[in-house]
């Protein structure tokens, strides 16, 4: 243990040097005038996630997350995962990164095995995405009405299917052991407020350091890839796709990259002029979800996940989570295409 601790400063210095070199390399490849915007994105991530992580750590130390986590207890009990996963899923309602850090810390402290940490992270992902989508759902429903209702129904059913797949896989691969203890907080240790804040600050500091070293270079290199058209593939799509998406749909598809509200604004007028049917709109929004999800994973998901989870686990969790979501969305997209086919 002593030798391991002596090596930590050297490893940190080596990581900082590699991170600085990668960051400078990416900065030199960015288009002029765009470095500031990308650095602002990194700063926003660190401030937002740091604040939520501190709050979640304090609430966890005070035992409050365990009390609220009873809501997720039946799901976690079904999957035969440890009770701490229920608390992490509660934290995911506010911040997916805060939930991830809870799981990673529990793993580091020996309270959670690697398998349980990975399944717990995958279970928290759809919960976090659900809350993220919920923030703009009501304005979009007001704009798109029936079309918006069908879109969100398809999106949330995809997330529910993703969560169910994770829980079933966790249950089927669980070792031969009894059901974990009840998830009530009765009798659980509750740290005093000063200790809870110290615990929260220590956890947040470790997290911000790891994320800063990884997020900065990866996010900047992803921005370089975007600027150089690595993800520009719309002109390479098969011609048959246009049978399901008329020219007007591509306006919504392009607007989708600016956010759901901008896409809804563009779609509302097209629906009004009957240039786009409801199933076609649902199809283009679901397709936009897939592309946006992959790009968001590359720009933010992987860098943050690598900064939180040990070794290659961060890459594994981010990749599997995105693949599951894309797979479930593709099923919803396929069903929508069948509807369009029979409608036409």
Q: What is the pLDDT of residues 89-111, one digit of tens each?
A: 988 988 888 899 889 888 888 88
User: Could you give the C-alpha distances from 83 to 73, 80, 93, 143, 184, in angstroms and in order?
Assistant: 7, 9, 17, 41, 9
The arithmetic mean of pLDDT across residues 270-289, rounded, is 84
Let me know the angle formed at the C-alpha of 149 by 146 and 154, rounded to the nearest 5 degrees: 130
135 compared with 293, residue with greater pLDDT: 293
* Burial bucket for residue 275 (CB in 10 Å: 0-12, 13-18, 19+): middle
The arithmetic mean of pLDDT across residues 215-225, rounded, is 77
Which pLDDT belongs to residue 189? 65
Under the banding of pLDDT at 50, 70 and 90, the label for residue 8 is low
Q: What percent of the chain has pLDDT over 90?
A: 23
User: Could you give the C-alpha distances from 8 to 2, 14, 19, 173, in angstroms and in order?
Assistant: 10, 10, 16, 35
Under the banding of pLDDT at 50, 70 and 90, the label for residue 233 is low
Under the banding of pLDDT at 50, 70 and 90, the label for residue 179 is very low
Contacts of 200 (CB under 8 A, 6+ apart): 53, 54, 55, 57, 58, 61
Q: What percent of the chain has pLDDT over 70?
A: 84
Which pLDDT belongs to residue 42? 78
User: Could you give the C-alpha distances from 274 to 147, 148, 192, in angstroms and in order?
Assistant: 13, 16, 62
Distance (Å, whole) CA 225 – CA 26: 10
The arithmetic mean of pLDDT across residues 228-253, rounded, is 64
31 compared with 328, residue with greater pLDDT: 328
Taking the model in full, what pTM does it have?
A: 0.77
pLDDT of residue 168 exceeding 90: yes
The arithmetic mean of pLDDT across residues 274-289, rounded, is 87
pLDDT of residue 320 exceeding 90: yes
Under the banding of pLDDT at 50, 70 and 90, the label for residue 317 is very high
Under the banding of pLDDT at 50, 70 and 90, the label for residue 258 is low
117 compared with 212, residue with greater pLDDT: 117
pLDDT of residue 275 exceeding 50: yes
Closest CA to 266 of 156, 133, 147: 147
Contacts of 233 (CB under 8 A, 6+ apart): none
Mean per-residue pLDDT of the chain: 81
5 compared with 222, residue with greater pLDDT: 222
Under the banding of pLDDT at 50, 70 and 90, the label for residue 232 is low
Under the banding of pLDDT at 50, 70 and 90, the label for residue 328 is very high
Which pLDDT belongs to residue 241? 57
Would you give the end-to-end CA distance of the chain in angstroms? 69
Under the banding of pLDDT at 50, 70 and 90, the label for residue 213 is confident
Which pLDDT belongs to residue 78? 92
Q: Are 73 and 86 in contact (CB under 8 A)?
A: yes
Residue 173 neighbours by CB distance under 10 Å: 11
The strand ranges marked E within the chain are: none
Which pLDDT belongs to residue 154? 94
Contacts of 256 (CB under 8 A, 6+ apart): 262, 263, 284, 285, 288, 291, 292
């Amino acid at each position: 243990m002593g030798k391991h601790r002596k090596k930590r400063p050297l490893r940190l210095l080596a990581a900082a040097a590699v991170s600085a070199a990668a960051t400078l390399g990416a900065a030199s490849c960015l288009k002029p005038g765009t470095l500031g915007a990308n650095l602002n994105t990194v700063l926003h991530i660190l401030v937002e996630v740091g604040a939520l992580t501190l709050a979640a750590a304090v609430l966890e130390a005070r035992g409050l997350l365990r009390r609220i986590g009873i809501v997720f207890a039946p799901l976690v009990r079904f999957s035969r995962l440890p009770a701490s996963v229920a608390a992490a899923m509660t934290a995911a309602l506010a911040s997916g990164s805060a939930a991830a850090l809870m799981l990673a810390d529990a793993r580091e402290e020996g309270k959670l095995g690697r398998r349980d940490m990975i399944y717990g992270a995958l279970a928290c992902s759809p919960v976090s995405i659900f809350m993220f989508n919920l923030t703009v759902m009501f304005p979009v429903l007001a704009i798109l009405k029936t079309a918006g209702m069908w879109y969100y129904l398809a999106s949330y059913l995809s997330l529910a299917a993703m969560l169910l797949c994770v829980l079933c896989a966790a249950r089927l691969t669980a070792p031969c052991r009894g059901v974990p203890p009840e998830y009530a907080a009765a009798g659980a240790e509750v740290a005093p407020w000063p200790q809870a804040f110290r615990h929260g600050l220590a956890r947040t500091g470790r997290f911000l350091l790891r994320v800063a070293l990884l997020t900065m270079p990866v996010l900047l290199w992803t921005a370089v890839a975007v600027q150089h058209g690595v993800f520009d593939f719309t002109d390479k799509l098969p011609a048959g796709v246009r049978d399901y998406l008329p020219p007007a749909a591509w306006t919504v598809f392009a607007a989708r990259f600016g956010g759901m509200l901008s896409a809804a604004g563009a779609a509302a007028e097209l629906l009004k002029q009957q240039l786009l049917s409801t199933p076609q709109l649902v199809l283009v929004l679901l397709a936009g979800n897939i592309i946006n999800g992959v790009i968001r994973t590359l720009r933010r998901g992987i860098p943050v996940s690598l900064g939180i989870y040990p070794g290659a686990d961060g890459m594994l969790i981010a990749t599997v989570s995105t693949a599951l979501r894309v797979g479930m969305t593709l099923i919803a997209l396929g069903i929508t295409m069948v509807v369009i086919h029979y409608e036409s």
